[in-house]
Amino acid sequence: MNQPATPASARIADIPAYMQDLGRRARAASRLLARADSAAKNRTLTAIAAALRAGSAALLAANAKDVAAARAAGRDAAFVDRLTLSPKTIESMASGVEQVASLPDPVGEISEVRERPNGMKVGRMRVPLGVIGIIYESRPNVTADAAALCMKSGNACILRGGSESVHSNQAIARCVHRGLAEAGLPEDAVQVVETPDRSAVGELLRMNKYVDIIVPRGGKSLIERIMAESRIPMIKHLDGVCHVYIDDRADPELAVKIADNAKTQRYGTCNAMETLLVHEAVAPKLLPRIAAELAAKGVELRGDDAARGLVASMKPATEDDWYAEYLAPILAVRVVHDMDEAMDHIAKYGSQHSEAIITTDTARADRFLREVDSSSVMVNASTRLADGFEYGLGAEIGISTDKLHARGPVGLEGLTSQKYVVFGSGQVRE
């Protein structure tokens, strides 16, 4: 596994056999990792951070190969930017790993213990899931980040980064393995797929014997491809078509501030607002103000007839706009008759990611919170705050819009399961 002289891809002839072997080793290591105590896991994370810092020169050299190849292949600036490591990003990787070490260890925690009439005590113990497969694009920092989160939650992992980052990922993997070895945990606990061959992904998605859950991290096309192929459950979201609904009982200053932040604080994120719904009673007063604010930042507005009647510069929205995740300075705007119409719109066009209501009416806020079926439902706050760090999870492996298992931002807890534990004193079934 260490220091391959030639690119691994040249040495791996039989991809299915190679992946099965990776899976088998990850599964075996997962049993040992599940038993590791917090001290051993934290020692490992600290050692990984040190290895990343110490290996900085080697990391940059490996990364330079990937960057040169990506440039030669004509990849765009944004792609190359995400791929490129610098002393600063390496330091931020290392400190990120240390931060995971400082988080509380969810594994082994026993909760909800109740004594039954027969005297036995029944509780639930938090345990690792087992083996986690992570599939991501050519962003080498994810390698360290994902390995740290899986390790802290007691899981083995199989990491498959974008094929253009293969040298960087292998260099990071060497630091991770050094950390594991130093702390006495099995190197097999973190498997980095060494081939850029795409068929390795297909193989990974079918290894349900060895992989308990897949976490895809990347754009919609990556996730769609994985969803179509995977036979293993996933923690994922496909779209973030997030809504802000401004109620007629909204505080106007607060409404303007949140609408602005939800759209413009960062355009390319899954929790950015894509459609603004405004109650017809306050639209004449608020919509022109919000439109002016957004227009000044270069946001293009696309509205329904009522919205365009209030803001002349607005383009007409088509049916497609209501479904759109722009990830760009574009916003769809609709004037609604009441909160029910807003909730119907969200139910029809939304992606169950994050939605906010701006209102001072607690009864309406309660109804919105209860009835909107999204992974995060917010009152008087920006959808941009739907995030693992902002929620206090300390870390985030992704956001799930599915209802089973973890929902919303997923931190360490979402990488664990709970089993029942029973403390008896001779109880039998009568």
User: ∠ CA(318), CA(324), CA(325), 5° rounding?
Assistant: 155
**Residue 6 burial (10 A CB sphere; 0-12, 13-18, 19+):** exposed
C-beta of 280 vs 361, nearer to its own copies: 361
Q: Does 162 participate in binding its own copies (rule CB under 8 A)? A: no
Q: Does 340 participate in binding its own copies (rule CB under 8 A)? A: no
C-beta of 49 vs 270, nearer to its own copies: 270
Ramachandran category for residue 226: left, alpha or beta (phi over 0 → left; psi -120 to 50 → alpha): alpha
Cα–chain-centroid distance for residue 29? 25
Instruction: Supply the minimum distance, in Å, between the C-beta of residue 378 and its own copies.
Output: 4
Binding test (CB under 8 A) with its own copies, winner from 135, 150, 204, 378: 378
Stretch that binds its own copies, among 137-145, 237-245, 260-268, 301-309 (CB under 8 A): 260-268
Q: Does 373 participate in binding its own copies (rule CB under 8 A)? A: yes
**Structure token pair of residue 25:** 């080793």
C-beta of 42 vs 230, nearer to its own copies: 230
Q: Which residue has the tokens 């979402």?
A: 414
Binding test (CB under 8 A) with its own copies, winner from 205, 214, 258, 332: 258
Instruction: Supply the minimum distance, in Å, between the C-beta of residue 122 and its own copies.
Output: 5
Q: Does 39 participate in binding its own copies (rule CB under 8 A)? A: no
Q: Does 425 participate in binding its own copies (rule CB under 8 A)? A: yes
CB atoms within 10 A of CB 266: 11
Q: Does 185 participate in binding its own copies (rule CB under 8 A)? A: no
Number of residues that bind its own copies (CB under 8 A): 65
| CA–CA dist 417, 226 (Å, integer) | 23
CB atoms within 10 A of CB 116: 11
Cα dihedral 268/413/376/315 (nearest 10): 10
Task: Give the DSSP letter of residue 318.
Answer: P
Residues 6+ apart with CB under 8 A from 59: 52, 85, 90, 168, 171, 172, 175
Q: Does 361 participate in binding its own copies (rule CB under 8 A)? A: no
Q: Does 369 participate in binding its own copies (rule CB under 8 A)? A: yes
Q: Does 133 participate in binding its own copies (rule CB under 8 A)? A: no
Q: Does 252 participate in binding its own copies (rule CB under 8 A)? A: no
**Structure token pair of residue 202:** 């297909």
Instruction: Supply the minimum distance, in Å, between the C-beta of residue 112 and its own copies.
Output: 10
**Residue among 1, 31, 123 at smallest CA distance from 419:** 123
Q: Does 189 participate in binding its own copies (rule CB under 8 A)? A: no
C-beta of 45 vs 346, nearer to its own copies: 346
Residues forming the site for its own copies (CB under 8 A): 31, 34-35, 108, 114, 116, 118, 120, 122, 125, 127, 129-130, 212-213, 233, 251, 254, 257-258, 261-262, 265-266, 347, 356, 369-371, 373-382, 384-387, 390-392, 403-405, 407-409, 417-429
